[in-house]
Structure 1
């Protein structure tokens, strides 16, 4: 009769295995597990013996999972995350006594508009926590997966293993131009903007290779020109203030803070164009009181800062 691994295996070893499968590096895994690097290596040896597979082999940049290990990680991850939620969900949560560091990775186009408002809001509702706002990068999903980042706020991305995504808000598109721009109407069509170059903010992992406004215009049979792109929103704003370029944005852009700029409403088939902002977080925190509270706070600030046209 085959040995029942569930009853014979130390479940801590599975936790070690899961972290190793995410980090593919024994040093980083030891830091996350708060144990020594030799302890991680010893745990890996025990797992290899019990499971009858090499699990991880050396690679130029760390470790590489075997096909068996990749499949095992995919299958056990939901159960270990569910166990974590079950053990932690009944703990009382009080934001006023929250004394922790909360790191939120925010898409550049959102970060510029929300950074101060988020800080002011959290200083009121959770005065003892430390808020860290960082720009969304190409490795932000991996950082969420490894618990280095608490929450991500960005456009739609493929979340990948161990990360959950939830829609935060739906925003109306706006086109930002200088006050002296030749276009004077409050609403515009893609055809009206065809002769003006686009200046767009790059969100890593979302529009690194393309600009959404250009794609929309191409679908209309137009030939858009992308004249400037940057991960730095302030660089794009500087270009807009001094040229006839236009910046695709949304009702989240704080146009009143920029007296040299104005916002136009783009219409696609006569209707405003909508885009979604999502929250990303580690699957193990799904439905926990803390993460639901955190998402609610970010939603409140986004809605509070969204410009409502008269």
Structure 2
């Protein structure tokens, strides 16, 4: 499907090819994606609820975790409902406005998550490496400031990059070989030189992906040194336990992104990339609350307390 429009104009709808090359797979994907989405929303909403209700979780760690849970709900909701519509029936289109909103919001929340994960690693660094000064370092004003910086920083880079992309003339090109509107794919449809957009994207990727990952690695380097200095095995196990959930979440998030973007530019790799993108847009937001629930004693106790109060 290609719209017949004059040069320089933008299409009124986009065609999201998604998984249409494998129509027999679409009903299975619909059920899997719907199930993951429901679990993701319920799981992350539960984390937000217990972090709000249980006073024992009114700490910086769970404040940032609640932010991450709200972010995951928002991110997956910006993509999954449209994906389910496209998987359910033969219509694979999304309106121009819907596509614009999708890549603005997904870009914003993706960048925010990178920064927020770095902030959470700093919180763990302060808790383990500076335990006597932790409450002084991670005071309420700093926590609010770090959370605001994460959200506002992600919004800023999305406004700049997405606006530059939106201004590109597409000359009627409207076929996107993916299941959601992603900024680099929109750039590929442009009928003009996109070097300025690509430069902005590379700079933003360095600032919002590479730098936060570097900060996470530095933080955990210091944490590892501090843990190794702990004399007792029980002390080391307890210290590691406070970080293991965050390490697992960071590994899932960055592992899927790096694996996807480091693939060679081949058609088979592009198809694999769709499934990897499906993993970090659908499965990762579902797994995050499960990781924090199953591996965190405080959250499990808070859940039992909330369930007991309801019963």
| TM-score tier (shorter) | under 0.3
Larger helix percent: 2
Task: Name which one, 1 or 2, has greater alpha-carbon Rg.
Answer: 1
Provide TM-score, normalisation by structure 1: 0.23
Query: As a proportion of its length, which structure holds more strand?
Result: 1
TM score, norm. by length of structure 2: 0.23
Structure with bigger RCO (C-alpha 8 Å, 6+ apart): 2
